[in-house]
Chains A and B, each alone.
Chain A
Amino acid sequence: MSTPILEGQGISKAYGGVQALYRVNIALYPGEILGLIGPNGSGKTTLFNALSRVIPVDEGRIFFRGQDVTDARPYQMARMGLARTFQVVRVYKKMSVLENMLISRSWRGVRAWNVLRPSRRETYQRAWELLEFFRIAHLAHMPAGALSGGQRRLLELAMASMPDPEVFLLDEAMSGINPALVEEIKERIQEMRQHQGKTFLMVEHNIQFISDLCDRVVVLHQGQVLAEGTPQEITENEAVIEAYLGV
């Protein structure tokens, strides 16, 4: 396999007396779709927060495209080509759906003084294309706070796609979205991987979704990697079954 595009080596993180992650190693390869599963409280979101640099780690190093980014800030990760969604949807509720999209635009080639002008025509164009794709273009001028939970999820996905990132970290991004659209998004993800070489790391509780889409799956349990393998290997792994079902 090639060099990982995103890699965490020996990541540990504790909240007070709770060890959320303990020496976790994870590697995401270019063009891969990697699933991250585990029971509630296993440390999936903490790992996402650590990899996207939203929280500092107590121990370990993080590499993005071979560069040590352990001390990088989230905006630097975003500008390097990493986009993420959150378990608790983060959209700007007081702003319109379109403004949410404009904020999420690409920072590639943007000089400091460029921000002192209105959003460019190309930014609007891309925003509308993505709103159309996620079927929320008709809501463009509504405040994001007026959207339903599922619509907010779609908006957050559209916002993550806005800067055309190389790596997507999707934290339960499909929850609350209707099954027909989930199928369409699944196809879109596969298409983006095949034609554009995009890379995905996704937390999902929908095992069928993970099995259909992912090349590999990593299972976290009590802050540690319990198992790693293809979806089939994982579903047949006794330790995983025990961790999930407690049998």
Chain B
Amino acid sequence: MRAATATSASAPVSLFRRWDIWAWVGLILLAALYPLSDPTTARLLVATQIFVLITLASNWNLIGGMTGYVDFGHLTFFGIGAYTVGILMTRSKEIVFAPQLSFWQAWVFSGLAAMVFALLLGAATLRLRGPYFSIAMLATLLAMREIVRLLTPITGGGGGLDLPPELNRIEEYYLSLGLMTLSVGLMWWIRNTEFGLSLLAIREDEVGAEMRGINTTLHKTTAFALSAFLTGLVGGFWAWQNTYIDPDVVFFEPRNLEMIIAVVLGGLGTVWGPPLGAVVLYGLREFFWNRFLFAHLLGLGLMLIFVVLFLPGGLIGLMQKGRAIPLHELLRPRPAVSQEEEA
């Protein structure tokens, strides 16, 4: 065998010598300084909403974009997180005979509850591939909304739950900024590890990944649980910020759709696509909302169709061809062994 060529690309590049992470750190620092400029409460709320959308999109991208399991019911975990915080802050005395918890105490459980549910659910649904998984998850979301509506003694049913109001916009701003930093930072780190490479391998060819020694069940379950944990935390935060939850506002389909559109618009499976897509989507949503109040959902739907048809690689795909994977490729039924090989 000939000796290896010593090129600059022949060795791993230190993660901290990457320009993209420093650009991200710079943006986070600027965002952290923003409240010092004495912005209005409305502006802080807008920024918080953008951070929440970026976080949701980034979390969804871990299972939908990187692992290739297009989850049409990811909002289930948001709902579990929201209701965990809501119940523990208002009903823990009646249900578990424990003292009512503060937000910070309840918040920890929001992520954990979503993660435990994801582990149980994933044991069944992650055996499905392509569109079958997507449909199973959508059904889970719809079922969960009805379960929450029926469990009135615990969840308040259709009447919902009122949470103790805090209304500290600065605190909310920093908390959502922290969540977003954690989520996007984690995606960047995962993408640069062997775990991230394995997830991409599973996305492209699960049988092939198994034959390369990758325990696909462990990898995709971990990604699913981690994604659910972070989404549960966002749900818990959102419930506290909103001070009121009911099945319709928590399991609100457009929110589910928005996190998917943000990822597809930015670039499926890329680290920076979801944040970029979320910011652009938020801007477009506000545009539609202001000009076409009664048809803004139609606008979002048309946008998803446009992106899928004409911008399959998303905005990142425009800049780096081939980096993002089109949605339709992930939704294609994928048999374990190709028909030719079965012959």
Q: Which residues of A contact B (CB under 8 A)?
A: 15, 20, 40-41, 45-46, 49, 52, 54-55, 73-75, 77-79, 83-84, 86-88, 90-95, 98-99, 102-107, 114-121, 124-125, 128-129, 132-133, 137, 140-141, 143, 145, 159, 163
**Residue in B195, B207, B210, B322 whose beta carbon sits within 8 Å of that of A94 in the complex:** B322
Complex interface: chain B residues within 8 A of A132 (CB): 1-5
Cβ < 8 Å to A, chain B residues 198-223: 198, 200-201, 204-205, 207-216
**Residue in A103, A119, A125, A137 whose beta carbon sits within 8 Å of that of B201 in the complex:** A103
Q: How far is the CA of A124 from the CA of B6 in the complex (A)?
A: 11
Whole-angstrom distance from the CB of A182 to the nearest CB of chain B? 17
Question: B337, A54: Cβ atoms under 8 Å?
Answer: yes
Question: B204, A92: Cβ atoms under 8 Å?
Answer: yes
B153 touches A (CB below 8 Å): no
Q: For A45, give the chain B residue with the smallest CB separation.
A: B341
Question: B213, A73: Cβ atoms under 8 Å?
Answer: no
Complex interface: chain B residues within 8 A of A124 (CB): 10-12
Cβ < 8 Å to A, chain B residues 78-117: none
| Interface size of B in residues (CB-CB distance below 8 Å) | 40
Question: B207, A75: Cβ atoms under 8 Å?
Answer: no
B342 touches A (CB below 8 Å): yes
Q: A115-B194, A140-B9 are in contact. Are A15 and B211 (CB under 8 A)?
A: no
Q: How far is the CA of A105 from the CA of B125 in the complex (A)?
A: 29
Instruction: List, sorted by A's number, 28 A–B pairs whose CB atoms are closer than 8 Å.
Output: A49-B337, A55-B337, A74-B210, A75-B210, A75-B211, A75-B213, A78-B210, A78-B213, A79-B213, A84-B211, A87-B341, A88-B340, A90-B205, A90-B211, A92-B200, A99-B200, A102-B197, A103-B214, A104-B212, A105-B194, A106-B213, A107-B213, A115-B193, A125-B10, A128-B7, A132-B5, A137-B5, A159-B212
Q: How far is the CA of A128 from the CA of B319 in the complex (A)?
A: 28
Complex interface: chain B residues within 8 A of A159 (CB): 212
Q: Which residues of B contact A (CB under 8 A)?
A: 1-5, 7, 9-12, 15, 192-195, 197-198, 200-201, 204-205, 207-216, 322, 325, 336-338, 340-343
Complex interface: chain A residues within 8 A of B194 (CB): 102, 105, 114-119
Question: B207, A90: Cβ atoms under 8 Å?
Answer: yes
Q: How far is the CA of A41 from the CA of B342 in the complex (A)?
A: 9
Question: A117, B11: Cβ atoms under 8 Å?
Answer: no
Q: How far is the CA of A54 from the CA of B12 in the complex (A)?
A: 32
Q: How far is the CA of A79 from the CA of B215 in the complex (A)?
A: 10
Complex interface: chain B residues within 8 A of A141 (CB): 9
Q: How far is the CA of A73 from the CA of B206 in the complex (A)?
A: 12
| Most-contacted residue by chain A among B5, B195, B205, B341 (CB, 10 A) | B341
Q: For A135, give the chain B residue with the smallest CB separation.
A: B2
Whole-angstrom distance from the CB of B206 to the nearest CB of chain A? 10
**Residue in B1, B198, B337, B342 whose beta carbon sits within 8 Å of that of A103 in the complex:** B198
Whole-angstrom distance from the CB of A83 to the nearest CB of chain B? 8
Whole-angstrom distance from the CB of A8 to the nearest CB of chain B? 17
Q: How far is the CA of A201 from the CA of B11 in the complex (A)?
A: 33
Question: B205, A92: Cβ atoms under 8 Å?
Answer: yes
Q: How far is the CA of A145 from the CA of B204 in the complex (A)?
A: 11
